[in-house]
Amino acid sequence: MPRVMLIGEWRSGKSTLIRILSRSDYRPRKVFAVDHHGDFVNTPSEFLENRRWYPALITASAHCDILIFVQDATRTTCQIAPSLDAMFNRKVIGVITKTDLPEANVARAERFLRNAGVRDMYAVSLATGDGVDALRQELGLE
Ligand SMILES: Nc1nc2c(ncn2[C@@H]2O[C@H](COP(=O)(O)OP(=O)(O)O)[C@@H](O)[C@H]2O)c(=O)[nH]1
Ligand SMILES: [Mg+2]
């Protein structure tokens, strides 16, 4: 399978996504550091929130095949900078989480991700599993 790196703001669902996609009991071990779990690379939310950390994201992405920008569908703001995809010479896909929650607005999350440079997006609920199969297929997971 490809090596997949996740980028997204605090509580957007990065750790949960890794747990579900890897079918294992992933708990992030490290705080404020890139965390490897099999073929998944988790990144600290702080690396997205302040551009002084962008070099750390670029370095971590170097040995990854696919980057996932994670956007929480219930959030009314987006911390992913416009055209952030251009910073990486990698395939980027978007994952919209929390589609099961009443305050979720998938169209808004899609706009945020499109603004960040994402073209291919997957809307999922990590609570119900909705949409996860399509994402698995995209990533070449069984
Ligand atoms: N209802 C619901 N909760 C979710 C979903 N994805 C993540 N969560 C919850 O959101 C919280 C933050 O998720 P986490 O994976 O720790 O976010 P991270 O900070 O990006 O790693 C946890 O309590 C998750 O259970 C989802 O699709 N639906
Ligand atoms: Mg986490």
In this structure, what token pair is assigned to residue 30?
A: 């490290």
Mean pLDDT, the chain, rounded, equals: 96
Residue range 106-118: mean pLDDT, rounded: 98
Q: CA–CA separation, 10 vs 15, rounded Å?
A: 10
Write down the pTM of the prediction: 0.97
Ligand 1: residues within 6 Å at CB?
Answer: 8, 10-16, 45, 97-98, 100-101, 125-127
Give tens-digit pLDDT for 2-59.
999 999 999 999 999 999 999 999 998 777 899 999 999 999 999 999 999 999 999 9
Nearest-CA residue for atom 8 of ligand 1? 13
Nearest-CA residue for atom 14 of ligand 1? 13
| Bridge partners, 110 (sequence order) | none
Q: CA–CA separation, 85 vs 3, rounded Å?
A: 17
Fold classified for 4-139: Rossmann fold (3.40.50)
Q: CA–CA separation, 23 vs 119, rounded Å?
A: 27
Nearest-CA residue for atom 6 of ligand 1? 13
Collect residues with CB below 5 Å from ion ligand 2: 14-15, 28
Residue range 71-96: mean pLDDT, rounded: 97
Where in the chain are the domains?
Answer: 4-139
